[in-house]
C-alpha cells in the first residue's frame, strides 16, 4: 500500500492536469508603442493585454487551450511596426494579432496583414484601417475596437446642434489621426447644420498654437473643436486660456484622460469631449448593461493589478480588453483556422464590452454606434457626464 | 481683434517659440566651440534638466530656487561624466568617432530616463503664474518672458566667457588646434571636460525653464532638438549670437507663416527658408566658415 499510494496520487494528479498540459497553447501576437512618443498610450495597453489574457487563461483558456501572448514594440514608428508584424506572421506564426495602437502604424501594416490573411484586431483611433477602396485597399482581415472617428464627430456635432452652436472653428493635428478627424469634421458639418468658419492645423510636436488660435479668434466661432492626441491638446487648451477666447473648447475622443487635466491645469476647466463610458461609469444608470462589465474591469485594473498607480484609467484603457475578448470568443466558436476565425469575429453580435456593445458586420469592422459614447465635461478637475 | 493686434500676437508668439529654439541651439554651440563636434546628447541634457526639476520641486517639495540650482548642478555633473566616461576613453580626436559616441550616450541616457521617470507626460508649474500679460494687445505668458530674458542673459554671459576670460579663450584655442593649444600650455582634456559640464548646465537651464510651457516627458529634448538644431545651423553653427538670431527668426517666420498664409505649410516654410539661407550662405547667417570661429 505504501508503495502504491504515491503512484496513485501522481497518476491521479496527472489525470487532472493532463488535459490542460497536453493542450497546445494558441499564440496571439500583440504589438503596441512601448517606446517613442506614443509610449504613454501603448504601455498601459500592453499591461491590460497581459491582464485580460491571464484572466482568460485562468477561466479555462480557449476551450481548454491557453493563450500564449507574443509581445512586440512598435517604438511608435511605422517601419518598426512592419518588422514586428512580419515576425508575428513568419516566425511566431500567430493565430491572431492585436494592435497596433496608432493610425499611422495601423496603415503601415494593413496591406501586409491583408496579404498574410491573419485576423487582426487593432486599437487605433483613425478609421482608414477599416475603410476600403482606392489607395486604402481592402479591410477583410482588419478590425478595430475604438469607436470610429466619424462616430465621435457625430456625437460631438449632435451636441453642438442641440446647443445651437452653429459656427465651428477647427484646429487639427497634421498627423494621420488629426487628418482623419479633420476629414470627418469637414464632411459631417453640413449634416448637422454647422458652418466651419476657420480651419487651422498644427504639428503635434509644436509647443505653441497661439498663432493659429489668433486667426480662429478673428472668425468669432461659437465653438472651437480641436482634434489631436497627446500633450498638444493640453497646449491648445492653455493657449485658448492665454488668449482669453470665450468660445467653448471641444476636444476629440482621444483625450479623456486624467493626464489631460494634469497637463492643462486650470485651463482644462469647462472643456468638453466625447468619451467612452469608462470615464464616468459611476454616473451611468444601473440598467446600463455595460456598467457591471466596466465595474469588474475597473476593480481588476485598480485593485488587483494596480496599473492605475502608474497609468490612471483613461478612455483608451478598455480597447485592448474588448479586442482580445472578441477574438477569444470567436476562437471558442470557430477554432484557429484563419478564415473561420475571421468569419466568426465578423459575426460578433451583442458583445457587451468596456467601450460599448459591439455588433460587427462585413461592412462595419468596428461595430460601435453613437450610443456607445458619452459627452464629458471637466468640472473642478473631475470628469462629469453631460446629460 | 484688429489686424495690428493680430500681427503683434503672431510676432510675440513667434518670439516665444523662437526663444525656446534659441536656448536649445545655444547648447549645441558650446561643445562645438570646444571640440568641433555635434553633441547629440545635448537634447538629453535638456530632458534631464526638466526631469530633475520635476523630482526636486514636486516629488521632494524643495523650494524653486534650490531645486533650480540642484537640477543644474546634477546635469552639469552628468555632462562632465559623459566626457570622462565616454568621450575621453575613446582617445580619438576624429570628429566622426566622437559624434557617434555622443549618439550612443544619448540613447543610453534616454533609456535610463525612461526607466527612472517612466513614459508618462508630466507638468511643471510656471515660475510666476499663468495669467497672461498684455503687450501691444497681444497676450504673452510670464514664463515666455522668463525664457526670453534668460536666453539673452545666457548669450551675453557666453559671449563674455568665450571672448574675455582665459578659460573661454583656451576652450576656443582647443577647438581651433588642440595640438598648438597644448604646446601653449593649455590642458586640452580639461578644456573639453569644462565645455561638456558647461553644456550640461546650459541644457539643464533650458529644460527647466522650457518645460512649464511644453510639458515634460523623458524625451522632450529630442522633440525640440530638431528645431533647435535647425536654428543653430541657420544662425551659423557654433556662433552663440547666431544661434539666438537663428532661433528667434525660425520662430517668428513659423508663426507669421501660420498666421498670415496657412498653418498647413508652417513647417514647410520654416525649413524652406533654412534651405535657402544655407544655399546662399552655407556657413549660416553669422557663420565664418572654417577659417575663424567666434
| Cβ neighbour number for residue B276 with a 10 Å cutoff | 10
Position B245 in a domain: yes
pLDDT at position A9? 57
CB contact under 8 A, A231 and B17: no
Strand partners, A143: A121
Position B290 in a domain: no
The mean pLDDT value for A212-237 works out to 94
Q: Could you list the residue range(s) of the whole structural domain that residue B117 is in? A: 3-280
Crossing angle of helices A231-242 and B188-214, rounded to 10°: 70
**Residues of chain A contacting residue B250, judged by C-beta atoms under 8 Å apart:** none
**Residues of chain A contacting residue B123, judged by C-beta atoms under 8 Å apart:** 234, 262-263, 265
- pLDDT at residue B247 tops 80: yes
User: Is residue A362 within 8 Å of A252, Cβ to Cβ?
Assistant: no
| Number of domains, chain B | 1
**Residues of chain B contacting residue A43, judged by C-beta atoms under 8 Å apart:** 119
Assign A8 a pLDDT band (cuts: 50, 70, 90): low
Strand partners, A196: A168
pLDDT at position A14? 55
Chain A residues 177-216 within an 8 A CB cutoff of chain B: 200-203, 205-208, 210-212, 214-215
pLDDT at position B263? 85
Query: ipTM of the predicted structure?
Result: 0.84
- pLDDT at residue A352 tops 90: yes
| Beta-strand pair B133-135/A382-386 | unpaired
User: Is residue A103 within 8 Å of A130, Cβ to Cβ?
Assistant: no
Among A174, A214, A310, select the one facing B10 at the smallest CB separation: A214
- pLDDT at residue B94 tops 90: no
User: Is residue A129 within 8 Å of A122, Cβ to Cβ?
Assistant: yes
- pLDDT at residue A342 tops 90: yes
Q: What is the number of alpha carbons within 13 Å of residue B14 lying toward its C-beta?
A: 25
B90: CATH: 1.10.3470
**Residues of chain A contacting residue B13, judged by C-beta atoms under 8 Å apart:** 208, 210-211, 214
- What residue spans of chain B are helical by DSSP H? 3-35, 42-54, 64-82, 95-117, 142-164, 166-176, 178-183, 188-214, 220-235, 240-256, 266-280
Among A39, A40, A212, select the one facing B263 at the smallest CB separation: A212
Q: How far is Cα B248 from Cα B17, in angstroms, rounded to an integer?
A: 8
Pick from A223-237, A352-366, B56-70, B79-93: least confident: B79-93
Position B196 in a domain: yes
Where do the DSSP E strands lie in chain A?
26-32, 67-73, 96-98, 120-122, 142-144, 167-173, 195-202, 223-227, 249-250, 272-276, 349-352, 357-359, 373-379, 382-386
Pick from A246-255, A345-354, B251-260: least confident: B251-260
Provide, rounded to the nearest whole percent, the portion of chain B with pLDDT above 70: 97
The mean pLDDT value for A32-40 works out to 86
The mean pLDDT value for B15-19 works out to 91
Assign A175 a pLDDT band (cuts: 50, 70, 90): confident
User: Tens digit of pLDDT for each residue in B185-203?
Assistant: 999 899 989 999 999 999 9
Position B293 in a domain: no
The CATH topology of domain A24-147+298-372 is Rossmann fold (3.40.50)
Going by C-beta distance under 8 Å and a sequence separation of 6 or more, which residues neighbour residue A160? Answer: A166, A168, A192, A194, A222, A223, A250
Chain A residues 143-162 within an 8 A CB cutoff of chain B: none
Q: How far is Cα B24 from Cα A38, in angstroms, rounded to an integer?
A: 23
Same fold: A24-147+298-372 with A150-252: yes
What 8-state DSSP symbol labels residue A140? S
User: Tens digit of pLDDT for each residue in B204-235?
Assistant: 999 999 999 988 999 888 878 888 999 999 98
Among B119, B141, B214, select the one facing A242 at the smallest CB separation: B141
pLDDT at position A177? 86
User: Is residue A279 within 8 Å of A383, Cβ to Cβ?
Assistant: yes
CB contact under 8 A, B224 and A207: yes
pLDDT at position B294? 44
**Residues of chain A contacting residue B22, judged by C-beta atoms under 8 Å apart:** none
Position B248 in a domain: yes
- pLDDT at residue B293 tops 50: no
The domain spans of chain A are 24-147+298-372, 150-252
Q: How far is Cα A329 from Cα A242, in angstroms, rounded to an integer?
A: 50
Going by C-beta distance under 8 Å and a sequence separation of 6 or more, which residues neighbour residue A263? Answer: A231, A234, B121, B123, B215
When the pLDDT of each residue in chain A is averaged and rounded to a whole number, the result is 92
What is the SS3 string spanning B66-101?
HHHHHHHHHHHHHHHHHHHHHHHHHCCCCHHHHHHH
User: Is residue A290 within 8 Å of A357, Cβ to Cβ?
Assistant: yes
The CATH topology of domain A150-252 is Rossmann fold (3.40.50)
Q: For Cα atoms B215, A259, A373, give the angle at the middle one, nearest 5 degrees.
A: 135
Amino acid at each position: 500500500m505504501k508503495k502504491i499510494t504515491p503512484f496513485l496520487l501522481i497518476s491521479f494528479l496527472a489525470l487532472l492536469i493532463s488535459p490542460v498540459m497536453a493542450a497546445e497553447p494558441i499564440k496571439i501576437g500583440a504589438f503596441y508603442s512601448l517606446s517613442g512618443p506614443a509610449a504613454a498610450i501603448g504601455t498601459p495597453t500592453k499591461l491590460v493585454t497581459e491582464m485580460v489574457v491571464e484572466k482568460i487563461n485562468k477561466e479555462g483558456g480557449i476551450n481548454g487551450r491557453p493563450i500564449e501572448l507574443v509581445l512586440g514594440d512598435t517604438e511608435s514608428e511605422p517601419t518598426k511596426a512592419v518588422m514586428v508584424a512580419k515576425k508575428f506572421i513568419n516566425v511566431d506564426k500567430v493565430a491572431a494579432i492585436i494592435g497596433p495602437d496608432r493610425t499611422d502604424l495601423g496603415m503601415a501594416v494593413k496591406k501586409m496583414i491583408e496579404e498574410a490573411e491573419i485576423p487582426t484586431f487593432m486599437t487605433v483611433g483613425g478609421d482608414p484601417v477599416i475603410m476600403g477602396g482606392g489607395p486604402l485597399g481592402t479591410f477583410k482581415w482588419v478590425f478595430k475596437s475604438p469607436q470610429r472617428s466619424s462616430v465621435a464627430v457625430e456625437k460631438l456635432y449632435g451636441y453642438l446642434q442641440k446647443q445651437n452652436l452653429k459656427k465651428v472653428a477647427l484646429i487639427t493635428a497634421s498627423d494621420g489621426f488629426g487628418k482623419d478627424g479633420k476629414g470627418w469634421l469637414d464632411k459631417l458639418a453640413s449634416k448637422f447644420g454647422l458652418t466651419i468658419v476657420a480651419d487651422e492645423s498644427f504639428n503635434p510636436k509644436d509647443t505653441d498654437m497661439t498663432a493659429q488660435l489668433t486667426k480662429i479668434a478673428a472668425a468669432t466661432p461659437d465653438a472651437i473643436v480641436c482634434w489631436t492626441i497627446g500633450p498638444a491638446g493640453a497646449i491648445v487648451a492653455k493657449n485658448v486660456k492665454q488668449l482669453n477666447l470665450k468660445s467653448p473648447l471641444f476636444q476629440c475622443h482621444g483625450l479623456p484622460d486624467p493626464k489631460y487635466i494634469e497637463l492643462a491645469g486650470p485651463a482644462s476647466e469647462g472643456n468638453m469631449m466625447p468619451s467612452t463610458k469608462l470615464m464616468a461609469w459611476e454616473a451611468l444608470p444601473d440598467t446600463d448593461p455595460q456598467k457591471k462589465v466596466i465595474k469588474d474591469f475597473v476593480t481588476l485594473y485598480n485593485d488587483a493589478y494596480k496599473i492605475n498607480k502608474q497609468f490612471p484609467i483613461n478612455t483608451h484603457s478598455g480597447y485592448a480588453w474588448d479586442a482580445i475578448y472578441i477574438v477569444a470568443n470567436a476562437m471558442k466558436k470557430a477554432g484557429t483556422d484563419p478564415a473561420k476565425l475571421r468569419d466568426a469575429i465578423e459575426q460578433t453580435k451583442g458583445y457587451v464590452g468596456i467601450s460599448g456593445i459591439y455588433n460587427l458586420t462585413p461592412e462595419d469592422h468596428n461595430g460601435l454606434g453613437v450610443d456607445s459614447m458619452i459627452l464629458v465635461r471637466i468640472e473642478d478637475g473631475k470628469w462629469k457626464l453631460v446629460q | 481683434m484688429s489686424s495690428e493686434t493680430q500681427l503683434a500676437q503672431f510676432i510675440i508668439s513667434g518670439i516665444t517659440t523662437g526663444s525656446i529654439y534659441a536656448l536649445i541651439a545655444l547648447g549645441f554651440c558650446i561643445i562645438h566651440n570646444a571640440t568641433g563636434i555635434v553633441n547629440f546628447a545635448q537634447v538629453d541634457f535638456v530632458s534631464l534638466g526638466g526631469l530633475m526639476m520635476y523630482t526636486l520641486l514636486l516629488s521632494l517639495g524643495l523650494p524653486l530656487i534650490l531645486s533650480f540650482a540642484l537640477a543644474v548642478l546634477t546635469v552639469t555633473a552628468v555632462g562632465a561624466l559623459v566626457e570622462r566616461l565616454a568621450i575621453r576613453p575613446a582617445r580619438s580626436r576624429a570628429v566622426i568617432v566622437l559624434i557617434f559616441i555622443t549618439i550612443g550616450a544619448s540613447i543610453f541616457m534616454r533609456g535610463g530616463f525612461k526607466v527612472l521617470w517612466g513614459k508618462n507626460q508630466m507638468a511643471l508649474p510656471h515660475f510666476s503664474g499663468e495669467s497672461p500679460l498684455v503687450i501691444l494687445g497681444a497676450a504673452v505668458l510670464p514664463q515666455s518672458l522668463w525664457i526670453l530674458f534668460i536666453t539673452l542673459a545666457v548669450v551675453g554671459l557666453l559671449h563674455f566667457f568665450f571672448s574675455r576670460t582665459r578659460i573661454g579663450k583656451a576652450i576656443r584655442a582647443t577647438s581651433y588646434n588642440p595640438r598648438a593649444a597644448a604646446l601653449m600650455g593649455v590642458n586640452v582634456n580639461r578644456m573639453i571636460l569644462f565645455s561638456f559640464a558647461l553644456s550640461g548646465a546650459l541644457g539643464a537651464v533650458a529644460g527647466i525653464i522650457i518645460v512649464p510651457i511644453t510639458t515634460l516627458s523623458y524625451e522632450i529634448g529630442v522633440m525640440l532638438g530638431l528645431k533647435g538644431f535647425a536654428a543653430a545651423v541657420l544662425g551659423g553653427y557654433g556662433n552663440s549670437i547666431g544661434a539666438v538670431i537663428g532661433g528667434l527668426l525660425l520662430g517668428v517666420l513659423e508663426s507669421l507663416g501660420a498666421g498670415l498664409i496657412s498653418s498647413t505649410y508652417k513647417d514647410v516654410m520654416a525649413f524652406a527658408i533654412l534651405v535657402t539661407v544655407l544655399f546662399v550662405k552655407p556657413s549660416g547667417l553669422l557663420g565664418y566658415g572654417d577659417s575663424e570661429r567666434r
